[in-house]
Amino acid sequence: MTVRVFVEPIDQGWAVRACQVENGMFYRTGAEAEAAARDLCQRLADAGEPAVLEIKLRGGARAGRFLFPPDPAAPLIGGFDGPRPAPTPKHPARLGPYRSSSAA
């Protein structure tokens, strides 16, 4: 499941909130909040969880949206300890010429 992380302005600073995290983090500057949010997203991705970071400006407009894909070598978080299935190719035509297994 993709973890969504938000950096949002609050009255006296900036907040970092995540959907699956109960306690938010609060910072005086937007730069501090963004650095903490990026670090959180990268740690989640390194652990195998995809993350999306959304940063909002004081006026409510979106300043940026960043995707942190999971590390394919990382174990999955959340209970499955077995090996990951091999990724399926996105472009099968690039795998080489087709060879039939049946004899002609």
**What is the DSSP secondary-structure string of 61-98?**
-EEEEEEEPPPTTSPPSSS--SPPPPPPPS-GGGG---
Asked which of 11-15, 30-34, 35-39, 91-95 is least confident by mean pLDDT, the reply is 91-95
CB atoms within 10 A of CB 49: 20
For residue 82, give both structure tokens. 């077995």
Which pLDDT does position 97 carry in this prediction? Answer: 45
Evaluate whether 29 touches 14 at the Cβ level (below 8 Å).
yes
How confident is the prediction for the chain on average, in pLDDT?
A: 79
pTM of the model: 0.68
Q: What is the pLDDT of residues 48-66, one digit of tens each?
A: 889 999 999 999 899 999 9
Which pLDDT does position 95 carry in this prediction? Answer: 43
Amino acid at 3: V
Which pLDDT does position 24 carry in this prediction? Answer: 86
Q: How far apart are the first and last CA of the chain?
A: 47
Q: Cα(46)–Cα(10) distance, rounded to whole angstroms?
A: 29
